[in-house]
Structure 1
C-alpha cells in the first residue's frame, strides 16, 4: 500500500510540475527530431532515388563509341559476367526553324531497361507514332499533333504523330537535358520513336545492367566499388575493340570505294579506247583531206563531228578524273581515320543525376556537425533542468528517508519522471523527424527532380545515439544528484541549503559607475556573480542557440556565394568555344568579329588531365594554356588569399582544392597524366584561389617546354557585352553551323546551374533556423522557470517589502537581459566557428565553399533571441504576480 501510494505520488509529480515536464519533453523532442531527422534525410533521399531507378530498370552503364556499335560489339557485351544487354539508336536533331535541339531515341517495347513513365496519352504502337518528353509541353506541343523530323539521312520518314508525353529515368532532372553537338549546343527535350524508323544498321549505344549491384543504393559506396570492378571487366573485354573497329570501318569504306574505283578505272579505259579510235579517225580524215584538191563540205562537216566527239571525251575525262581525285581523297581520309574511342558512361553521367547525389552528400556533411551541436545544447539544458529539479526536492527526499524509504524507493520517483520525459521526447522526435524532415526537404526540391516521392524508414544508429545521450542527460542527471543527496542524513536534507554569501564584485570597485547605479541594478549585478553556475549555464544555452541560428543563415549565405566568388572575381570571361580537330580558325574569328556584342577573344588550349597518387582517389582537372600570357589576365584573375598575381612563364599554377588533396606546395614537382595517359612533369609555381571546379594553368612557353610539343589552340575564351538567352542560342547555333566548333559553353548557364543546385539547400537551412529558434525559446523559458522556482522565497520577500509587480519582474528581467546579451555576443563568435567547420565538412572535390556571414544572420539571430526573451519575461511577469507569498515564506517550516 505504501509503495502504491508513493507510486501514485510519483506520477502526480508530472502533473504538478507539468511546465517543467513539458519543457524537458520538448527539448528532448527537438534535439532528437533534428538529429535523427537530418541524419536520416540523406539515406532516405538516396534510397528513394535508388528504388525509383531500379523500378524503372535504369541502365548501370552505357557503352558508346565514336565509330558506332555493331553486332560484334553486342556479342562482346554479352560476354560481360552477370550483365543484361540491350542496344539502341540515339541521335541529335536540330530544328533550325524553332531553334530547338531534340535527342531522338529508338523505342522497342521488347526492351526492359530504361522504362518510360507515361504521364499522358500512350506509348507508340505504329511506325508513324512517337512520344515526347513531358518538358516538350512547355514548348506548346499537344497530343495528336503532327511532329516533323527532317533527318532524312538517318530516318525512313519525316512525319510522326504525338501519342504521349513521358518521363525517362535517364533524366531525373526536370530541367537539365544535357549538351549536343548540333544546333544551339544544348538539348531542349527528348523523343522516343519506333526503332524500325532508323535506317542505320550500326547502333549508337549499348545499355548494360549488372546483377551484382541490384539492391545496392545507387549513391552508396558499395555500389561505386562494385561498379568500378564491373567497368574494369568491361574495359578488359573491349580492350582490343577500338583497333578492330577502326579496321572494320576502313575495310567497309574500302569495300564501298572499290566498285567506284573499278568503275572509274573501267570508264577511263573505255575513254582511252575511244580516244584511240577518235585519233585514228582524225588521221584518216586528214589523209583524205590531203588527197582532195579543193575544200569539200563533207570533210568540214566530218571534222566538226570529230571535234564534238573530242569535246565530249574531254568532258567525261574531266568528270572521271575529278571522281578519281575524290576517291583518292577518301582513301587518304580512311588511312588517316582516328581509332574510334569507347566510353563507358555510368548513371552519374546522366543529366542531373550527380546533382541529386551531391544534394544528399551536402545534407550528410551538414548532418555530421549542425544537428550534433544542436543535440549537445538540448542535452546540456536537459541535464541542468533535471539536476535543479532533484535539488529543489531536498526536503522531500529527507522526509522520505526519515520515514524509512529505501534509496531505491526514493529514486524510483525521479527514474519514472526522467524515463517518461525521455521516452516521450525520443519516440516523438524519432517518429516526427524521420517522417517529416526527409519529406520536407524533398518537397522543397521536388520541382527540380522527377521522383514521385520518398519512402521513409528508421535508421537505428542515430536513434540509439539519441536515446543514450538523452537518457544520460535526464536519468543520468537525476541519479548523479540523487547519489549525492541520498548520502546525506535526513536532518541535513530537511534543512534548506544556506544561500551563497554575497561578495563584492569587480564593478563595485569602479566608483563612478557603481555610485550612479540604482539599488535594484546593484542587487541584480551582485546576483549575477553570486550564482555563477546559473549564469554560465544560461549564457552557454543562449549562446548555443544563437550560434545555431547564425550558422543556419551563414550556411545559406556561404553556399549561395560560390558563384559570386567564382564568376567575376576569378573567371572574367563569358563563354568558352571548343573547336573541332584542325579547324578553320579564320572562319570562327570572322563570326566573332561580325557579332557586335563580342568585345574580345583569346585562343587557348584546354585539355582534361589527371592526377594520381597512392592513397588518394584519381582526380581530373582542366589544364588551360593561353596563347597570350599577358592578355590572359583580362580573362582570369589569379589570386592567392585574395592577393592577385600573374601567370608565371616558368612553372604551373594549380587551384587550392587540388593542392590540399595532393598536399602540394609552391616549388613541388607534379606528374600529370594527359587524355592518352601519357605523363609529363611540371613544377608548381603558385597556388590560386578557386571555388568551382579544378584547374591547372600553364603559360604557352612553359607548356611547350614541359611537353616537348607545339602549342595548338583548341578553344577560345570570349568576353562580351551582356547577352540574352536568345542571343546566346543564336551565337551558339551560328558557331556550330560553321562546322568548326563542337560546343559553346556560356558562363551564365553555369551560374544558373550553380544557383539552382544551391537553392536545394535553402529549405534545409531554414529548417535549422526555425528549429534553433524554437530551441532558443524553450531554453530561455526553462532557464527562467528554474531561476524563479529556486528563488521563490527571495522574490516573495521583496514583494512583502513593498516592491511593485513591475519592479519584481524587472528584478529577474535585468539578470535575463544580461544573460541574453552575453549569450548573443558569444553566440556570434561561436556561430562563425560552427559555420566554418560545417563548410569544411560539406566541401567537395570540385567545390570549395567560402565563409560568408552577412549582417542578416546576426540581426536574425540576435533579434529572435531578444524577442523570445521578452515573450518569456511577459509570461514570467504574470506568474510572479500570482506568487503565494505566505506559502513561499513558510516553505521551510
Structure 2
C-alpha cells in the first residue's frame, strides 16, 4: 500500500512538472543523438564501403608496367604465400569521336573486382559488352550496337547487354584521366577476355590472403600491405632488367626474318655480280648495261635495308628499362576521398559532439539538482514520518533513471540509425554504394550513457546525500533567501541614479544569484559557440580553395611530358605559342617521397623552374609572417604542412627519395605557406648540386583564361602531339576541393540545427528553473500591484542580459571550437585556414536571440497564470 502511494506521488510529480521532465529527456536525447550519431557516421560509412568491397572482392594491389606484363610476372607475384594474381587488359579508346572510355577485359572466371549489375545481364558471348552505369547519361541504351575498332580486339562490333558498377570506380563523379583526347574519361566498358589477341597484358590484379577480412581503412591493413609491398619489391627487384631482355629478344626475333631475307638478297646480289662480271669479259651490250643498272639499284635497296636493320638493332640495344608500378587501394579513384571524408566526420565527432553533450549534461545536472532541492519540505516530512533514506531516495532515483533511460534509448536509436542514414541518402548519388550498413558502436554509446547517468542519477545522489543528513525540522523549513548586497553598479552613482526601480532590482538579482547567472551564461554561450562553430567549419573548409587558388597558385594548368621527352625536343611549346593570351613556363617536375618513423610516407611535388625570376608570376611564395620568398641557390623551399609533419625548421637537412628511388639530401632555406598538397621548390643550380645531373625541364606551367570547352580542346590538341602524358587543369582540383565541402555540408547543417534546438531547450529549461525558484517572489510582486507585463519584464530583463553576455562569450567559444575541430580534421596534405565569416557571427547570435524571444513568450504565458495566493503561503 505504502509503495503504491509512493509510486503514485512519483507519477504525480512527473505530470505536475512534465515540462521539466520532458526537458531533461529532450536535453539528454539531443546530446546523445549528436554524440552517438556523429561518432557512428564515420565508421558506418567505412563499414558500407568495406561490405561492398568484400562482396565484389576488390584487388589489394594493381600492377602496371611500361614494358607490359606476361604470365611470368604472375608467376613471380604468386611466389609470395597467399597471393592470387589475375592478368588482364586495359586501354583508353575514343568512342564515336566524342567520349573517352576505359576498356577492360571481362573474365567471368575471375574472383577479383567483380562487377555489380544495375541493368541487363553480364556478357555470355564474345560479341556482347557491358558498360558503366554512367554510360546511360551519355545516351547509351540496352541492346544498342557498340563498336570498338581496336587492332588488339578480334571482334569490333558488340551489343550492349548490361550496365554495371565496378569496385575500381566507387565515385560516380570520377573516372580518372588518360593521355588521349581531352584526357578526361567519361565511362568504362568491359569486353570479353577471349577477344584480346595480344600476348602482352596491361594490368595485373593481386589479392593477399593475409588481409582477407581486415578492415581496409584500419592501420592493421595498412601495415600488412606495407609488408606485402616490401616483399613484392624484393621479388620484382630484378624483373625490370629481365623484362628488358625479353623485349629485346622479342624485337630481335621479329627482325630475324628481315635479317634472313636481307642476307639472302645480299648472297643473290653477290652471285649476280659474279655472273655479270663473266659476261662483261665477253664485251659490252645494251642488255649488259641494263642489268648493271638493275643490280646497282638492287644493291642500293639492300644497303638501305641493312642500314635500317642496323638502326633497329641499335634501337633495341638502347631500350630503356621498364618501370613497374604497384598501386594499392589508395589509387582507386574516389576511394581515398570517400575514406578521407569519413575520417573528417570522425575527427569532427571527437570534439563537437563532446562539447555538445557537455553542455547538455551540465544543464541536466543543474535541473535535477534544483528539482530535488525544491522537494526539501517533502523529504523532511517523509523523514519525520519514519521513511528510510533508501525509501525517500528511491522516488528521485527512479525519476532520474526514467528520464535518463528514455533520453538515452531515443538518443541511441535515432543517433545510430538517423544520422548515418541521412548522410548516406544525401551522398548516395555520388557513390555507387546502395546498401546501408547500420551498426551499434558501443564505445560512444557507453560514454554517452555514462555521462547522462552522471548528470541525472549523480546529481540526485549528491543532493540527496547532503539533504538526508539534515534533521527533519530543518528540512521542513524553506531555505533562507540570500541576503542582499550592494553591487558594483551602486558605487557608480551617476549611472545608478538614472536606473528605474525595476532595473535596479534586476541588476541586484543578477549578482545576488551568481550561480544562476554563471550557469545561464555558460549554457547560452555554449549553444551559441556550437552554432558558430558549424558555420566556422564550413567557412574554413571553403577557405582552402580561396586561400590557395589565386593568392598562392596563379597558373591554370600543368602539362606533363612523356618519359624521355624534354622541353627542348617537344612540340608543346609550338602549340602553346599559337594560343592567344596564354603564357607558359618550363619547369622540371617530379614526385618525391619522404619517409620518417612515426608518420606515413609523404609524397611531394618537386618544382624546378627554368627561370626563377619569372616563377613568381605563376606562384607566390610567402612565409608565415606574410613576407615574399624568392628561390635561392643554397637551399630548398618547402611548404609548411610538410615541415610540420617532418618536424623540421629552416636550416635543417632532410632526406627524400626521388623518382629513381635514389636518396637525396636537401637543406631547408625557407618554409612557405600552402594549403593543398606538399611542394618542394629548387633553383636549377641547386637542383644540379643535389641530383648531380644536368637540369632538363619536363613540364609546362601555363596561364590562360579558358572555359570547360576550351580546356577540353587544348588537352586534345596537346595529346595529339604524342609528347604529352597528361594535362591537368587547376579547375578540376578546385572542383575536387569544393566536392569535399559539399559532402561535409550535411554534417554542418545537422550541427547547426541540433545546436539551435539545444539552445532553445536550454533557455526554456533555465527560465523554468528561474521561475520555479522565485514563484513566491513573483506572486508577491503581483500582490503589490505589478501588471503581468511588468512581472514578465522582471524575468525577461535578466534573461536578455544573460543572453547578450552569453552570445558575446559564445563568440570566443565558437572561435576556440572551430580552431580545435579544424586542426583535428586536417589531412596530411591539406591545411584548412581558420575562417569564421560574418554569417557565422550574425546567424548564431540572431538564432540565439530568436530562441530567447520565443522562450520569453512561453514565459509570459506561464507568469500570467501564477496564483497570487501562493505569496500568502510563505513562512518568512
Compute the TM-score of the two structures, normalised by the length of structure 1.
Answer: 0.96
- 1: distance between equivalents of 2:241 and 2:741? 44
- 2: distance between equivalents of 1:742 and 1:889? 91
**What does 1:141-220 align with in structure 2 at a 5 Å threshold?**
141-152=140-151, 154-220=152-218
Displacement of 1:283 in angstroms is 4.8
Displacement of 1:138 in angstroms is 1.5
| 1:364-413 Cα distance to aligned partner (Å, 9 max, x none) | 11011101010111111111111111111111111111111111111111
Displacement of 1:560 in angstroms is 1.4
Residue 838 of structure 1 aligns with which residue? 821
- 1: distance between equivalents of 2:270 and 2:552? 69
Contact 2:570–2:723 under 8 Å retained in 1: no
Residue 112 of structure 2 aligns with which residue? 113
* 1:707 and 2:691 correspond: yes
- 2: distance between equivalents of 1:28 and 1:279? 113
- 1: distance between equivalents of 2:295 and 2:137? 61
Residue 247 of structure 2 aligns with which residue? 249
Displacement of 1:883 in angstroms is 0.7
- 1: distance between equivalents of 2:752 and 2:288? 99
**What does 1:641-790 align with in structure 2 at a 5 Å threshold?**
641=624, 642-720=626-704, 722-790=705-773
Displacement of 1:3 in angstroms is 3.2
Task: Give the gaps of 5 or more residues in structure 1.
Answer: 287-301
Aligned residues: 873
Contact 1:48–1:454 under 8 Å retained in 2: yes
- 2: distance between equivalents of 1:538 and 1:63? 62
Residue 31 of structure 2 aligns with which residue? 31
Displacement of 1:12 in angstroms is 2.4
Contact 1:442–1:453 under 8 Å retained in 2: no
Contact 2:89–2:201 under 8 Å retained in 1: yes
Contact 2:40–2:440 under 8 Å retained in 1: yes
SS at match of 1:67: coil
- 2: distance between equivalents of 1:889 and 1:869? 31
Compute the TM-score of the two structures, normalised by the length of structure 2.
Answer: 0.97
- 2: distance between equivalents of 1:700 and 1:449? 44
* 1:802 and 2:782 correspond: no
Match of 1:578 among 551, 555, 560: 560
Residue 128 of structure 1 aligns with which residue? 127
Displacement of 1:784 in angstroms is 0.3
Residue 871 of structure 1 aligns with which residue? 854
Contact 1:100–1:184 under 8 Å retained in 2: no
- 1: distance between equivalents of 2:305 and 2:600? 54
Displacement of 1:312 in angstroms is 3.2
Distance 1:311 1:801, change over 3 A: farther
Contact 1:50–1:218 under 8 Å retained in 2: yes
Residue 297 of structure 1 aligns with which residue? none
Displacement of 1:99 in angstroms is 3.5
Displacement of 1:785 in angstroms is 0.4
* 1:853 and 2:822 correspond: no
Residue 605 of structure 2 aligns with which residue? 622
Distance 1:860 1:800, change over 3 A: same
| 1:752-782 Cα distance to aligned partner (Å, 9 max, x none) | 1111122110000100000100100000000
Which structure 1 residue ranges, 4+ long, deviate > 4 Å from structure 2? none
Contact 1:82–1:212 under 8 Å retained in 2: yes
Distance 1:196 1:752, change over 3 A: same
Residue 237 of structure 2 aligns with which residue? 239
- 2: distance between equivalents of 1:740 and 1:204? 21
Contact 1:609–1:673 under 8 Å retained in 2: yes
Match of 1:387 among 340, 359, 369: 369
| 1:296-350 Cα distance to aligned partner (Å, 9 max, x none) | xxxxxx42x4444344333333333333222222222221212222222112211
SS at match of 2:850: helix
Displacement of 1:212 in angstroms is 2.3
SS at match of 1:617: coil
| 1:236-282 Cα distance to aligned partner (Å, 9 max, x none) | 33232222211111111112212212211221232233234335444
* 1:375 and 2:354 correspond: no
- 1: distance between equivalents of 2:244 and 2:178? 24
- 1: distance between equivalents of 2:59 and 2:82? 13
| 1:100-158 Cα distance to aligned partner (Å, 9 max, x none) | 22111111212222111111222222222211111111211112222222222x11232
- 1: distance between equivalents of 2:805 and 2:29? 27
- 1: distance between equivalents of 2:737 and 2:273? 72
| 1:538-588 Cα distance to aligned partner (Å, 9 max, x none) | 000000000000001110111111111111111110110011213464521
Contact 2:489–2:496 under 8 Å retained in 1: yes
SS at match of 1:653: strand
Match of 2:338 among 339, 345, 356: 356
- 2: distance between equivalents of 1:472 and 1:620? 47
Distance 1:831 1:701, change over 3 A: same
Distance 1:622 1:399, change over 3 A: same
- 2: distance between equivalents of 1:589 and 1:206? 36
Displacement of 1:234 in angstroms is 2.5
Task: Give the gaps of 5 or more residues in structure 2.
Answer: none
Distance 1:222 1:380, change over 3 A: same
Distance 1:818 1:628, change over 3 A: same
- 2: distance between equivalents of 1:738 and 1:306? 51
- Of 236-245 and 311-320, deviating more is 311-320
SS at match of 1:498: coil
Contact 2:36–2:444 under 8 Å retained in 1: yes
Distance 1:12 1:310, change over 3 A: farther
